[in-house]
Amino acid sequence: MSISMAICETECENASCIRYKKSVLKVIVKDITKYQDAAEFHLLLLKEDALALFPDWDDFLSRNKMKADTETIYLDHLRSEDDISVFEKKAAKRYTGWIEVSLLDGTLRDELLSGSIPEDRLTEWDMLSFDDMERICKGCELSWDKGRGCIGAFGPDNSALPSIADKYGCKIVASVPDAVRTKRTFGKDDAAELLKEVAVLRTSLPDEGKLAVSRYTGALDRLDALAHASLKGGCGFRFL
């Protein structure tokens, strides 16, 4: 298992992704009652109900390119325009739990967003293709991992670097495994301290042997780049 490190990019107003990640399109909820007018749903019929509308079942399946074992029919799976017009008059709604934020007025929208957690939100960033994400990351001034983005590898979870750091009083690097477990976020003021620790470890690694230099110089380079990006963006950083 590996450990990654990243700046807290949503704290950075100059991050190229910020407008996409702050644009929340949908939020999933357990109870849609309050937000029903903006709730996402699918129109569907069970097979036994659809049979009453389309008695020639084999022909219905054929013209809509559907499998013979289909038990639930969704409106958006139909291909025949004539079938769609008949189907949608009788179809039932099945709510997905997702609420379309743009369909809510100010008060309800603010309530929904303030009461949700990031894991329950779908943002404009989530809707981008991987190619678009890569293009945006490559053009971002905070893309510290050699232009690949603002998240990169610290190393395996059994890395000896934290124990080496502890030996030389480098508290941030020493605490990385614990920071992963506790989901700790370091503040932007910690970035300057991290740079100092990287400098200490660079001069100390040779004392730990050639193998340590070979294994951990790359991690120190990435920690250095992470800290500089954190300072530049005025944001915190984390290990995960």
> Token pair 């293009």 is at which residue?
135
The pLDDT tens digits of the residues spanning 51-67 come to: 989 999 999 999 989 88
Q: Answer yes or no: do 158 and 68 share one domain.
A: no
Between strands 24-28 and 121-123, the pairing is antiparallel
Q: Which of 80, 108, 123 is the last residue of a domain?
A: 123
d(CA 129, CA 110): 28
Q: Both 100 and 150 in a single domain?
A: no
- Helix, strand, or coil here: 55? coil
Q: Position of tokens 């013209």?
A: 63
Last residue of a domain, one of 84, 104, 123: 123
> Do 16 and 29 sit in the same domain of this protein?
no
Residue-range definition of the domain harbouring residue 85: 24-123
If one counts the domains in the chain, the total is 2
C-alpha radius of gyration, the chain, whole number: 26
**78 and 149: one domain?**
no
Q: Which pLDDT score, from 0 to 100, does residue 159 have?
A: 93
60 and 151: one domain? no
Supply the pLDDT for residue 146. Answer: 84
Are residues 135 and 192 part of one domain?
A: yes
If asked whether residues 110 and 132 sit together in one domain, one would say no
The tokens of 79 are what?
């291909």
- Name the residue type at position 105: D
Q: Beta-strand (E) ranges in the chain? A: 2-7, 24-28, 39-46, 72-74, 92-100, 121-123, 151-156, 185-186, 237-239
Are 132 and 232 contained in the same domain?
yes
Predicted confidence band at 174 (pLDDT cuts at 50, 70, 90)? very high
The last residue of one of the domains, among 82, 102, 123, is: 123
Cβ pair 123, 20 in contact under 8 A: yes
10-37: pLDDT as tens digits: 999 889 999 999 999 999 999 999 999 9
* pLDDT, mean over the chain: 93
The answer on 64 and 6 residing in a single domain is no
pLDDT cut 70: percent of the chain above it: 100
Tokens, residue 64 = 């809509």
